[in-house]
A and B are shown apart, each in its own frame.
Chain A
Amino acid sequence: MMILDCPWCGKRPETEFHCGAEAAPPRPRDPGQLSDEAWVDWLTNRRNPRGPMEERWWHQRGCGLWFTIRRDTATHELLPPEDGAS
């Protein structure tokens, strides 16, 4: 059981949360200007690393906030955010 640190509520058990997915690069501003290949790449391809990964979580059964955490996918250990991450 992971204890996630919600920026609003503080440390809460992971069963209160819903994992969005691996944090993707920012959504392209105008997908119509992209090639099909680049758009599909953004939609479907993720890094899926074994090790540290940033992902989006939703405090579904709490305050409703979305936030980003950094987690080791091999151990489920929560890691401090890298510089610049929020």
Chain B
Amino acid sequence: MKPIIDVIVNCPDVGMYVMQSDKGELVIGGGTDPTQSFRQAGYFPVFEDTVASLLEIFPRFRSLKMLRQWGGAIEFAYDASPIISDTPIPNLYISCGWWGGFKAIPAGGLTFAHTIATGTPHPLNESYRLDRFRGLKFVLEAGTVTAR
């Protein structure tokens, strides 16, 4: 398809995002299974929900053909924000919970490297430590696509 969108359209209200790849294909993403799941496969209710949301916003995309779909396991924390942190076990560091709309892997890599190299969190990931749950200091990240 010829260029039609040059931004990432991210609509948290309906849990859908769409962007166009350099090859011209549209890349469409949606929500998670409505339940905890280890099935690691596509799931029709979520697929239908995502496509319905897409067509609500861009009715012209009705004429497109689907090329392929992806389904897999994603992990997320209680507050739907990542964990970039040291742990109670010495020299064990974790970076996880990278799901949804938190498209910040460059900063995630830098702050995780800083945490490992210096033993203390970078100012940017101080609030993303594992022990935030102990104090109920949740990080409610506004760009999260599917925290709904």
Contacts and interface: CB of A to CB of B under 8 A. Distances in A.
Interface of A: 1, 14-15, 18-19, 22, 36-37, 40, 43-44, 48, 50, 53, 55, 71, 73-76
Given A15-B45, A40-B134, A40-B136, A48 B36 contact: yes
Interface of B: 34-39, 44-45, 78, 133-136
DSSP class of B's interface residues: helix, strand, loop or mixed?
loop
B133 A40 contact: yes
Contacts of A44: 78, 133, 136
Given A37-B134, A43-B136, A44-B78, A14 B45 contact: yes
A22 B136 contact: no
DSSP class of A's interface residues: helix, strand, loop or mixed?
mixed
Contacts of B38: 50, 73-74
Given A1-B44, A40-B136, A71 B34 contact: no
A11 B44 CA distance: 19
A44 B83 CA distance: 15
16 contacts: A1-B44, A14-B34, A14-B45, A19-B34, A19-B35, A22-B36, A43-B136, A44-B133, A44-B136, A53-B36, A55-B35, A55-B36, A73-B35, A73-B37, A73-B39, A76-B37
Nearest to B44: A1
A61 B88 CA distance: 44
Nearest to A15: B45
B72 to A, nearest CB: 14
A27 to B, nearest CB: 16
